[in-house]
C-alpha cells in the first residue's frame, strides 16, 4: 500500500501538522512525573506495528516535506554536511544501511536491486532512480553519504572508533536542536557531550562510551532525548539562532497550545560492517501541546515534569524563556490524579 505524504513547511508560514495517527504514534519520552538526564539505552528491536519502533529507520507522513526542508538548508549552508577524508568506507556503509532498511521496510516506496557491485535504487516518493557501482563515487551524482542523507529523515552523525574513543568525523545535520555539526566535527564522544549539565560529573558518558565501544554489528541500540520549541521549526542550529531565537519570546498562555511543541529525538546507533564506525541517527518528532492534550495522561505528566525539572536542565534545554506560558497552559489540564509509570497515551 502506498503511503500518503503531507505538503507542509517547517519555516515561514509553518504549515506542519500531525494527523491523529501521527499524534498517537508520537514517541512520548516521560515514564514518570520527574525527569533526570540518563543514558536510557535499549536494544533497537522491532516494535508494535505502526509504531515509530516498527522498523530500523522510520518513514512517516512527513518524509517528503522533511527531505525538501533538508535540501533548502543545504542550499543555504552546505557546511551542514561534514565528511572527513578517511570516512569513505563509512559513507558506503551508511548508504547500504539506509537503502537496505528502507527497501525492506517499505517495498512499495523504495526498491533496491543488487547484482554484484551494480546497484539499482528507486525512491518513488522523491522521484529518484539511479544505477551505480557500489564503491565507485564517480557513478553517483555526489558522494554516497550526502546522496543517501538527502533521502532519509533525521540527522545522522557517523563516529569513527579509534584510540579507545569515538570521533564525530562524518555527519549530515540540518534539523539540530541548538548545536553545530561543523563545530563538533572531529570531536571525541565526551567532548561532543560536554555541555550536558551534571552528566559528566555523574559519569553518564563514561559508561555510555564504554558500552558503545563494544556495540556489535547487527545489534543496534536506541534511546530518546527531548526538548521543546516555539513553532515547528526543524532547523534550530547554532548557526541560525538569529533567525529562530526570537521565536522563544513569542509564546503566551493564550497561544502556547498551538505554538509550542514537544520535540523528541529517537536516537539509534548502528555498528557499520566495513569501517567499524557507528552510525548515530537522530530522528526528530514534534507534537503541539494542543495535539498532545488529546491524550490527557500525556499533558498531565508533561506539566509535572516541567514543574519539577532541574533548573540547570531547563536552561540547557532552552526552556526558560517560554516555560512559564507553557505551565500556565498545562496547569488547568492536570487534576493531580495518580498516573501509573509508563509512556502509553491512555
Q: Do residues 281 and 20 lie in contact, with contact meaning Cβ atoms separated by under 8 Å?
A: no
Q: Which value, to the nearest 10 degrees, does the dihedral of the CA atoms of residues 231, 224, 278, 211 take?
A: 150
Residue 172 near residue 155, CB atoms below 8 Å: yes
pLDDT surpasses 70 at 200:
no
pLDDT the model gives residue 237: 84
Within 13 Å, how many C-alpha atoms sit on residue 207's CB side? Answer: 10
pLDDT on residue 17: 97
Is there a contact between 164 and 185 (Cβ–Cβ < 8 Å)? no
What nine digits make up the cell of 40? 536510557
What is the structure's pLDDT at 321?
93
CA separation for the pair 174, 169 (Å, rounded)? 16
Neighbours of 142 (CB within 10 A): 12
Q: Among 165-169, 199-203, 208-212, which is the least confidently predicted range?
A: 199-203
Domain segments of the chain: what residues? 20-86+157-332
DSSP 46: -
Residues 6 or more apart whose CB falls under 8 angstroms from that of 118 comprise: 131, 132, 133, 134
**Hey, is 186 helix, strand or coil?**
coil
Q: What is the mean pLDDT of residues 113-128?
A: 98
- Is residue 290 a contact partner of residue 258, using CB atoms and an 8 Å limit? yes
Instruction: Give residue 201's pLDDT.
Output: 67
Task: Give me the pLDDT at residue 39, please.
Answer: 75
CA distance 172 to 155: 6
Confidence band for 194, pLDDT divided at 50, 70 and 90: low
Task: Inform me whether the pLDDT recorded for 323 exceeds 70.
Answer: yes
Q: Are strands 155-162 and 165-172 parallel, antiparallel or unpaired?
A: antiparallel
**Region of poorest pLDDT, from 64-78, 96-110, 170-184:** 170-184
CA-to-CA distance for 285 and 26, rounded, in angstroms? 7
Give the sign of the dihedral formed by CA 38, CA 43, CA 45, CA 48. Answer: negative
Mean pLDDT of 106-127: 98
The whole-number average pLDDT for the span 4-18 is 97
The catalytic position among 17, 24, 150, 223 is 223
Sheet holding 128-133, edge to edge: 110-115, 118-123, 128-133
* Alpha helices in the chain, H assignment, sequence order: 20-24, 63-76, 88-105, 144-149, 181-184, 189-193, 199-202, 204-213, 241-244, 256-259, 289-292, 296-308, 311-316, 323-330
Catalytic residue check, 223: yes
Q: Buried (b) or exposed (e) across 206-218, using 16+ Cβ within 10 A?
A: eebbeebeebeee
Phi and psi, residue 266, nearest 5°: -90, 110
Length of the chain: 346
For residues 32-38, average pLDDT: 89
d(CA 33, CA 317): 18
The burial of 126, by beta-carbon neighbours within 10 Å (0-12 exposed, 13-18 middle, 19 or more buried), is given as middle
Query: pLDDT tens, 210-264?
Result: 989 999 999 999 999 999 999 999 998 888 888 888 899 999 999 999 999 999 9
What pLDDT is attached to residue 245?
85
Q: The whole model's pTM is what? A: 0.94
Amino acid at each position: 500500500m502506498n503511503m500518503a505524504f503531507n505538503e507542509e513547511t517547517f519555516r515561514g508560514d509553518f504549515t506542519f501538522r500531525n494527523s491523529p495517527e501521527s499524534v498517537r504514534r508520537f514517541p512520548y519520552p516521560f515514564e514518570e512525573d520527574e525527569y533526570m538526564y540518563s543514558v536510557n539505552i535499549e536494544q533497537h528491536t522491532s516494535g508494535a506495528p505502526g509504531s515509530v519502533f516498527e522498523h530500523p529507520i522510520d518513514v512517516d507522513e512527513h518524509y517528503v516535506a522533511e527531505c525538501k526542508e533538508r535540501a533548502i538548508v543545504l542550499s543555504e549552508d552546505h557546511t551542514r554536511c561534514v565528511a572527513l577524508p578517511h570516512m569513505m568506507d563509512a559513507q558506503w556503509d551508511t548508504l547500504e544501511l539506509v537503502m537496505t532498511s528502507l527497501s525492506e521496510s517499505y517495498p512499495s516506496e523504495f526498491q533496491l536491486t543488487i547484482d554484484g557491485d551494480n546497484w539499482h535504487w528507486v525512491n518513488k516518493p522523491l522521484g529518484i532512480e539511479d544505477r551505480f557501482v557500489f564503491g565507485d563515487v564517480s557513478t553517483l551524482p555526489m558522494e554516497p553519504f550526502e546522496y543517501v542523507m538527502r533521502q532519509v529523515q533525521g540527522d545522522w552523525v557517523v563516529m569513527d572508533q579509534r584510540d579507545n574513543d569515538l570521533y564525530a568525523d562524518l555527519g549530515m545535520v540540518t534539523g539540530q536542536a541548538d548545536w553545530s555539526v561543523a563545530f563538533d566535527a572531529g570531536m571525541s564522544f565526551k567532548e561532543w557531550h560536554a555541555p550536558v549539565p551534571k552528566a559528566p560529573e555523574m559519569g553518564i558518558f563514561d559508561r555510555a562510551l564504554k558500552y558503545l565501544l563494544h556495540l556489535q554489528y547487527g545489534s543496534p541500540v536506541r534511546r530518546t532525548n527531548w526538548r521543546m520549541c516555539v513553532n515547528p521549526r526543524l532547523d534550530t542550529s547554532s548557526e541560525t539562532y538569529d533567525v529562530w531565537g526570537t521565536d522563544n519570546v513569542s509564546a503566551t498562555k493564550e497561544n502556547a497550545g498551538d505554538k509550542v511543541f514537544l520535540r523528541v529525538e529517537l536516537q539509534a546507533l548502528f555498528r557499520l560492517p566495513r569501517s567499524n564506525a557507528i552510525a548515530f541517527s537522530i530522528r526528530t518528532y514534534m507534537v503541539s501541546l494542543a495535539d498532545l492534550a488529546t491524550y490527557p495522561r500525556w499533558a498531565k505528566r508533561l506539566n509535572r515534569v516541567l514543574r519539577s525539572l532541574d533548573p540547570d536542565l531547563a536552561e540547557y534545554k532552552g526552556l526558560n524563556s517560554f516555560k512559564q506560558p507553557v505551565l500556565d497552559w498545562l496547569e488547568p489540564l492536570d487534576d493531580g490524579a495518580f498516573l501509573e509509570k509508563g509512556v502509553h497515551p491512555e
